[in-house]
Amino acid sequence: MRPARWEAVAPAAGLPVSTPVEITLAEPAAAKALQASFAGAGVSAILVPTPSGTAQTVLFTEGLAVAPMTARHWAALAASRHARKPGAKLIFLQRLTADTGLEGLSRTLRREWADVMTACWTLLDDTPGEVIAGWLGSGSEDLWISPDGTARRAALGPFISPHAIPPAAPGLWLVTGGARGVTATCAVEVARQSGGTFILAGRSAETAWPEGVAETTEIKALRGLMASAAVQRGEKPSPAAIDKAARAALAGLEIRATLAEIRSTGAQAHYLQMDTSDPGSVEATLATIRQRFGAITGLIHGAGVIADRLVEEKTEAELRRVLATKAEGLFHILARIDRTALRHVGLFSSASAFFGNRGQSDYAMANAILANAGRALQAELPGGRVKVFDWGPWEGGMVDATLASHFKQQGVPLIPLAEGALIFAHELLAGDPADVELVVGTVWSDT
């Protein structure tokens, strides 16, 4: 595990700017100001509603637009498709806010489009156009540019070893996605190390196990058993109905198993249904938690879904679903809790946020948003500890047997469940608060 740290970047002064240059008009005032600044630096740029596909350098202002988070990220992705041209340089601009993650797009495009250069430039404060013009000739890397013209980039720091966990008062934890998948494993380890009360939240209902059916965790076997039981009752459910009922039963089984495991550590555990992508559902669940348990002191956000598809084929609905669960979901929660009571925040991100990953532009953006949101939150909670884990693939959760064998064939090691959970608990409870974003799974850093 290595922390993401900053390092200064020297401007590649004097390098020629590849022309023609286009600037998208998504944020017209910014686009016009950039055009004027570039002209002052001797670079002529054309303002375009959509890239023409003929420019050698394209600056995207979609990330600067005053628009909702998901709309901004979709607009940038959609606009990028018009700009692809061998040898072109695509630069996505965004302001440094908690709800931005276009670096996920630029890093993914680097993996999907070998014939273009991409960069995401995050502008700190009101970085003037002249400063941006000064960086135009530089290479294709993601930069954080300051108004004084200096820039930095994220780089991996030295490997971190586990810290001893100091004793602390037991907290009240909300764990989204915490009843199932790898987040559940991590929640159990945090409970073992810290005690407290754990509210696990997910979309699934705590469905009871079907009567008269032997317990199994194998979906195929369960479908067979449930179909036979239905026939014995004189019913003829469709295969789709059997599958749905079997999945619900397995979800219920997994929820009860996680609750039991947390309770076996001596901690308290409860399950509440909540859909992080639905503000009404979040509002209602948080009201219940406030009334029944008090103020949340620890937030673990593990809810996440994937919808892998290459940028050129990605649909807006897929991107919306991926961002809604993870990124929008985080903000729905943060807007409705007493943030001053938070002592620990652990966000489940992915190595795709740091390195990009083919087919995962939306997922990489959602996770990159978590990194920026985590840094903003750490600044807001100087006495707290905010950690964003950019996980490589685990031996579980979303990584099913097929995916696991695919990773193994490619020589990508999987994070063992017990080890990942220990890393999570130790960093969240005792890690250096200065290291917010952590990349876990070394092979990702070699690729």
Ligand X SMILES: NC(=O)c1ccc[n+]([C@@H]2O[C@H](COP(=O)([O-])OP(=O)(O)OC[C@H]3O[C@@H](n4cnc5c(N)ncnc54)[C@H](OP(=O)(O)O)[C@@H]3O)[C@@H](O)[C@H]2O)c1
In the bound state with ligand X, the residue whose beta carbon lies nearer, of 302 and 384, is 302
Rounded Cα gap, residues 195 and 408, in angstroms: 36
Query: Using the 8-state DSSP alphabet, how is residue 397 labeled?
Result: T
- Candidates 2, 73, 84, 203; binder of ligand X (CB under 6 A) is 203
Residues 6 or more apart whose Cβ sits within 8 Å of residue 69: 99, 100, 323, 327, 328, 331, 369
Provide the token pair at 445. 């850093």
- Candidates 51, 177, 252, 359; binder of ligand X (CB under 6 A) is 177
Rounded Cα gap, residues 18 and 417, in angstroms: 48
Q: Interface with ligand X includes 202 (CB under 6 A)?
A: yes
Q: Interface with ligand X includes 302 (CB under 6 A)?
A: yes
Size of residue set near ligand X by CB under 6 A: 29
Q: Give least dist CB 389 to ligand X, A.
A: 8
Only segment of 113-121, 202-210, 256-264, 307-315 that touches ligand X (CB under 6 A) = 202-210
Task: Write the secondary structure of 295-361 as one string of H (helix), E (strand) and C (coil).
Answer: CCCEEEECCCCCCCCCCCCCCHHHHHHHHHHHHHHHHHHHCCCCHHHCCEEEEEEEHHHHHCCCCCH
Q: Give least dist CB 288 to ligand X, A.
A: 15
User: Alpha carbon 20 to chain centroid distance?
Assistant: 35
Only segment of 19-27, 161-169, 238-246, 274-282 that touches ligand X (CB under 6 A) = 274-282
Only segment of 124-132, 177-185, 206-214, 233-241 that touches ligand X (CB under 6 A) = 177-185
Residue numbers 372-401 binding ligand X by CB under 6 A: 391, 393-394, 397-399
| Phi, psi (rounded to 5 degrees) for 293 | -125, -25
**To which H or E segment does residue 431 belong?**
none
Q: Interface with ligand X includes 181 (CB under 6 A)?
A: yes
Strand partners, 93: 121
Residue numbers 182-201 binding ligand X by CB under 6 A: 182-183
Interaction mask 317-356, ligand X, x per CB under 6 A: --------xx---------------------x-x------
Q: Interface with ligand X includes 107 (CB under 6 A)?
A: no
Q: How far is CA 264 from CA 199, 302, 394, 417, in A?
A: 15, 22, 24, 18
In the bound state with ligand X, the residue whose beta carbon lies nearer, of 137 and 397, is 397
Binding site for ligand X (CB under 6 A): 176-177, 179-183, 202-204, 251, 274-277, 302-305, 325-326, 348, 350, 391, 393-394, 397-399
